[in-house]
């Protein structure tokens, strides 16, 4: 029986906690810092994801056996490395890569060089700093519109610019290098634009073997028809209808396997999740980005489709026994619809009372930005709650989530009613 600590506070961490809690191997579950939803599954501990000393205290006090790191920030900041370097923590099991592996998400330049080295299909690119700006300007002239500019470092999902006009792209390149995204854009990756339809594929690995989790598609734009500003994600569906067996096999042989093999060849220790942000270009999968964690809101759909004991998979990743694991997938479809605060992704108000939870039927509510305030649950973020449902297909799962989306109330509530429109 294990004491497990989940690090994070979003819908992803609630969904993982929900799945972890179904395992008979769990003694106690803790979430740091968690949200009003995770509080129903385990004990929330008010320690932030970057407070390594605070997390150490929790791990020792609560006799934690397994730490599952949800978001990218503590991974890129080196939480796993911190634990390995600490005499009292080094034997605690961890799911989530060390800093070197986390660079696959923390540095676009590092990720592109990795893909190039290991022949993994991705867009043509050039990395630019103030040192080779003229080369960058000239490289843009060799490309066709639109132009893709990416801040090298973490920029909370805002560091990618897609620009139609050449002169404007050249000006933007300079602005980025001048600190538009702070240190994150002191290097900029210029990339060939890829046209196609995107999907998210996930693997869990111990650095030697891997298991592929159900794939998903997320909807990033705030507006219907994929219009308006980018958000953290407005919903997700799984499976992805166009990702048939033949396509998934291409993804495995051309992308997933070479990535895990590449980590081995480069002597990069890696255990945890790999999120492949992919695009299908005329039926051929290419990598847009790596993330070193699960996707959010994809996790709020993907967890519903994992039939296996999730704790077994987590333990196998932490202990290096993934080669002995099998994963069993639920045949049903799953959908997650995200309810967000009015005004999001711009300014919005927090602390708005929520109601209607007990009126919902046949959905699972995964809290993203909520907080318990007295006996009330109030909004505490832009993305507030994901409504996840099963269905025989995507449309049935979505219809169920939409029916319940009507029942949860808070002033300013907004959600997209067209998820799956493009499939």
By CB under 6 A, name the binding residues for ligand AMP: 123, 148, 150, 160, 191, 193-194, 198, 277, 288-289
Residue 13 binds which entry of ligand AMP, ligand GLY, none, CB below 5-8 Å type-dependent: none
DSSP states of 292-346 as a string? SS--TTTHHHHGGGB-S-HHHHHHHHHHT-GGG----B-SSEEEEEEEE-TTTTS
Contact 126, 113 (CB under 8 A): no
Cβ proximity of 21 and 41 under 8 Å: yes
Instruction: Please say whether the beta carbons of 228 and 222 come within 8 A.
Output: yes
Is there a contact between 78 and 50 (Cβ–Cβ < 8 Å)? no
Which helix (DSSP H) or strand (DSSP E) does residue 33 occupy? Answer: strand 26-33
Nearer to ligand AMP, 104 or 263 (CB): 104
Residue 361 CB, nearest distance to ligand GLY (Å)?
Answer: 27
Min separation Cβ 152 and ligand AMP, Å: 11
Cα(10)–Cα(369) distance, rounded to whole angstroms?
7
The site for ligand GLY (CB under 6 A) is made up of 218, 233, 291, 295-296, 298
Q: 364-367 and 93-95 as β-strands: parallel, antiparallel, unpaired? A: unpaired
The residue among 233 and 345 lying less far from ligand GLY, judged by its C-beta, is 233
* Least distance between ligand GLY and beta carbon 329 (Å): 20
Do strands 26-33 and 227-230 pair parallel, antiparallel, or not at all (unpaired)?
Answer: unpaired
Cα 321 to chain centroid, rounded:
24
295 binds, among ligand GLY, ligand AMP, none (CB under 5 to 8 A by kind): ligand GLY
Of residues 109 and 218, the one with the C-beta less far from ligand GLY: 218
Residue 330 contact, options ligand GLY, ligand AMP, none, Cβ 5-8 Å cut-off depending on partner type: none
The smaller minimum CB distance to ligand AMP, of residues 59 and 155, is found at: 155
For residue 51, give the 3-state DSSP assignment.
coil
Cα(353)–Cα(358) distance, integer angstroms: 15
Least distance (Å) between residue 137 CB and ligand GLY: 30
C-alpha to C-alpha distance for 32 and 6, rounded to whole angstroms:
6
Residue 123 binding: pick among ligand GLY, ligand AMP, none (C-beta 5-8 Å cut-off by kind)? ligand AMP
Give min distance, CB of 158 to ligand GLY, in A. 12
Nearer to ligand AMP, 32 or 123 (CB): 123
Distance CA 273, CA 95 (A): 8
194 binds, among ligand GLY, ligand AMP, none (CB under 5 to 8 A by kind): ligand AMP
Instruction: State both tokens at 119.
Output: 């022949």
In the list ligand GLY, ligand AMP, none, the entry touching 288 (Cβ below 5 to 8 angstroms by class) is ligand AMP
In the bound state with ligand AMP, the residue whose beta carbon lies nearer, of 34 and 232, is 232
CB 341, min distance to ligand AMP, A? 22
191 binds, among ligand AMP, ligand GLY, none (CB under 5 to 8 A by kind): ligand AMP
Question: Which residue has the CB atom at the shortest distance from ligand GLY?
Answer: 295
For residue 405, the SS3 value is helix
Q: Which helix (H) or strand (E) holds 139?
A: helix 133-142
Q: From the list ligand GLY, ligand AMP, none, pick the one residue 233 interacts with, judged by a Cβ distance below 5 to 8 Å according to partner type.
A: ligand GLY
Residue number, 142 or 326, with CB nearest to ligand AMP: 142
Query: How would you class 142 by CB atoms within 10 Å of its CB: exposed for 0-12, middle for 13-18, buried for 19 or more?
Result: exposed
Structure tokens belonging to residue 109: 């330049």
> Residue 91 Cβ, how far from ligand AMP at the closest point, in Å?
35
Least distance CB 160 / ligand AMP (angstroms): 4
- From the DSSP assignment, how many helices (H) and strands (E) are in the chain? 13, 22
Query: Which of residues 48 and 277 has its CB atom nearest to ligand AMP in the complex?
Result: 277
Q: Supply the DSSP symbol for 91.
A: T
Choice between 65 and 191, CB closer to ligand AMP: 191
Q: From ligand AMP, ligand GLY, none, which one binds at residue 391 (CB under 5 to 8 Å depending on kind)?
A: none
To ligand AMP, the closest distance from the beta carbon of 196 in angstroms equals 8
């Amino acid at each position: 029986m294990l004491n497990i600590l989940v690090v994070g506070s979003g819908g992803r961490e609630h969904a993982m906690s929900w799945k972890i809690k179904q395992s008979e191997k769990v003694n106690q579950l803790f979430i740091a810092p968690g949200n009003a939803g995770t509080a129903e599954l385990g004990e929330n501990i008010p320690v932030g994801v970057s407070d390594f000393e605070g997390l150490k205290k929790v791990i020792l006090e609560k006799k934690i056996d397994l730490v599952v790191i949800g978001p990218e920030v503590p991974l890129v900041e080196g939480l796993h490395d911190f634990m390995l370097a600490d005499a009292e923590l080094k034997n605690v099991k961890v799911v989530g890569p060390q800093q070197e592996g986390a660079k696959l998400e923390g540095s676009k330049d590092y990720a592109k060089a990795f893909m190039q080295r290991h022949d993994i299909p991705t867009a043509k690119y050039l990395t630019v700093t103030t040192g080779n700006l003229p080369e960058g300007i000239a490289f843009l002239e060799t490309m066709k519109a639109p132009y893709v500019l990416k801040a090298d470092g973490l920029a909370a999902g805002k560091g990618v610019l897609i620009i139609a006009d050449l002169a404007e792209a050249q000006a933007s390149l300079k602005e980025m290098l001048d600190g538009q995204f702070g240190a994150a854009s002191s290097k900029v990756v210029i990339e060939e634009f890829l046209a196609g339809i995107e999907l998210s594929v996930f693997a869990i690995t111990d650095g030697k073997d891997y298991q592929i989790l159900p794939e998903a598609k997320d909807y990033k734009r705030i507006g219907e028809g994929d219009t308006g500003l980018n958000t953290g994600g407005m919903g997700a569906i799984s499976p992805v209808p166009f990702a048939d067996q033949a396509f998934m096999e291409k993804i495995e042989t051309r992308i997933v396997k070479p990535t895990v093999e590449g980590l081995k060849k480069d002597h990069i220790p890696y255990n945890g999740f790999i999120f492949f942000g992919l695009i299908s270009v005329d039926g051929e999968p290419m990598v847009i980005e790596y993330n070193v964690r699960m996707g959010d809101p994809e996790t709020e759909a993907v967890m519903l489709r994992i039939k296996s004991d999730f704790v077994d998979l987590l333990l196998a990743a932490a202990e290096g026994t993934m080669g002995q694991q099998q994963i069993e997938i639920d045949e049903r479809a799953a959908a997650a619809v995200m309810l967000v605060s009015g005004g999001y992704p711009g300014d919005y108000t927090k602390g708005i009372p929520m109601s209607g939870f007990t009126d919902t039927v046949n959905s699972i509510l995964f809290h993203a930005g909520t907080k318990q305030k007295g006996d009330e649950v109030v909004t505490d973020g832009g993305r507030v709650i994901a409504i996840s449902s099963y269905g025989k297909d995507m449309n049935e799962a979505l219809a169920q989530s939409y029916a319940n989306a009507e029942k949860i109330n808070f002033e300013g509530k907004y959600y997209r009613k067209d998820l799956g429109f493009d499939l």
